[in-house]
Every structure is written in C-alpha cells, then in structure tokens.
Amino acid sequence: MHVTVYGPLRSATGEKTVQVDAEGETVRDVLDALVDAYPRAETHLTDDEGTLRPSVRVLVDDRRVDLDESVTDVESMRLFPAMRGG
C-alpha cells in the first residue's frame, strides 16, 4: 500500500510517499508495518504507552478512518502526524 506522509513524518521516512507491505488487513496493521519499516516514525504517531496520539489523522479515500477499519481493497492512505510547537 502507498502511504503518503505529511509534516515531520517526512523526515522519518525520507520521502513523501512510501510503500508499506502490511501483513494484516486493518489500518492498525498498516501503521505497525510503517513503524517497523521506519522506526523514527513511531514517536510522531504514538505516545509513551504506544497509543495512537489523538491528533494523528489517518485518511483513506479522503475519509477519516479508525484503527480497526479494513483496508484490504485500498491502495493508498494519507497520514497526518501529531503536530508539535506553537
């Protein structure tokens, strides 16, 4: 699946769009595969307990999705990380 990343995630992935090969079928599986491939992305996505930060936005087909939604027929995802600063 192609994942387009925004903000500080680009520095973690090195590219705006990356290919992520997830083993499972949910948004959570894709995010886990992204972190496995790009470990520096984890701090932008999760808090100290490993929970997805509330400000992280995941969009599929321009629709915000939950972590447990199926993405089996999806070819791309957009990921907006938590933004810091003021």
Whether pLDDT at 85 is above 60? no
Residue 31: name the closest of 61, 66, 83 by CA: 66
Per-residue pLDDT at 83: 66
Q: Is residue 86 part of a domain?
A: no
Q: In the predicted model, what is the mean pLDDT of residues 19-23?
A: 89
The boundaries of the domain holding residue 14 are 2-80
Whether pLDDT at 34 is above 70? yes
Specify the long-range contacts of residues 45-49, CB closer than 8 Å, at least 24 apart: 45/9, 45/79, 45/81, 45/82
CATH number at residue 66: 3.10.20.30
Per-residue pLDDT at 6: 94
Q: Is residue 28 part of a domain?
A: yes
Each residue's pLDDT tens digit, 41-84: 999 999 888 888 888 999 998 899 999 999 887 778 999 986 65
Model confidence, pTM: 0.89
Q: Is residue 10 part of a domain?
A: yes
Whether pLDDT at 13 is above 90? yes
Q: Is residue 36 part of a domain?
A: yes
Collapsed DSSP state (helix, strand, coil) of residue 80: strand
Q: Is residue 46 part of a domain?
A: yes
Domain count of the fold of the chain: 1
Q: Is residue 85 part of a domain?
A: no
